[in-house]
Copies of this chain bind each other. A is one copy, B any other.
């Protein structure tokens, strides 16, 4: 049933399977008169492209986006924007060996149970391929939040058990350039080197790795979020948890609040601003004006070469070693996907807040 749309005023509807002819998004709610060219979107897609990082597959995806509607003479018209990305480079037949068996940890079992149909082609909508449409839509959201001075930066905070060392000002100072300095989109070069070794080792053993992505929002005005259900943290949690491999979402101090007292957790207020940011920029579901700080737990890629116990489509026991071009970790490719989802939510919040200020 319906469920492929996110957002109220800025609304993104996606479509496309990993092994169909194309994938894409319809983006509604982009105000008119904004410069928007294919290059503006392409540069975001390029960030999620499988690179030369030890964690990425060798599969080459072009991910060339086309704008099919919603712009005229290089500017948005205010009407729905259709974005299309052709699937040019999948291996036909590459998934024949998994046609008959379910992959542990993978969505093919649940899709089969939900829809009663077996689409064995590389995961269908449950494939990481689906996230390309999210990144493309996020590029449009970026245009909107930029007009309000909002910036979203995500990076690899941990991978395979190796965490970044963070200076206390990381959230305030980290730049896209810092992050782009290595293939892992990791702001700590020492951690990045250790992670590369860890990824190489996992690849050799036919296994995969999980990690943590951190997302920082800077310049966000106070007042965004629509209580009591469309709170900005609630909408962010949904948007991030809807990414395939995410199993946890935290705001600010996150799970650490469980061990704090009120006097520790509360961020004292002064005329110059807050003295700390345990709230992660959100109080009672509304932005405070501080940086928004989010963290997501990313599970290891389920498709691994290591032999696993499983069942086939008839329910009989089976063993499976997944061959083929698979990433060792969803990180770093998931990093721009996290950015995109946050930008999509914030674009929607900004537009909804406009209405809130009606005649005020």
Contacts and interface: CB of A to CB of B under 8 A. Distances in A.
Given A283-B109, A360-B31, A125 B267 contact: no
B6 A8 contact: no
A222 interface: yes
A157 to B, nearest CB: 9
A1 B352 CA distance: 7
State the oligomeric state as a number of copies. 4
A110 B265 contact: no
B228 A14 contact: yes
B5 A13 contact: yes
Q: Please tell me the size bucket of the interface on A.
A: 35 or more
A244 B233 CA distance: 10
A353 interface: yes
Contact of A300 (B109, B124, B261): B261
A351 B360 contact: no
Contacts of A304: 262-263, 266
A26 B300 CA distance: 32
Given A283-B110, A356-B114, A270 B26 contact: no
Contacts of A357: 31, 354
A350 B350 CA distance: 17
Given A2-B7, A68-B84, A125-B227, 7 more contacts: A13-B80, A32-B117, A114-B223, A237-B237, A238-B241, A249-B249, A268-B310
6 contacts: A33-B116, A72-B121, A113-B223, A161-B259, A270-B309, A354-B358
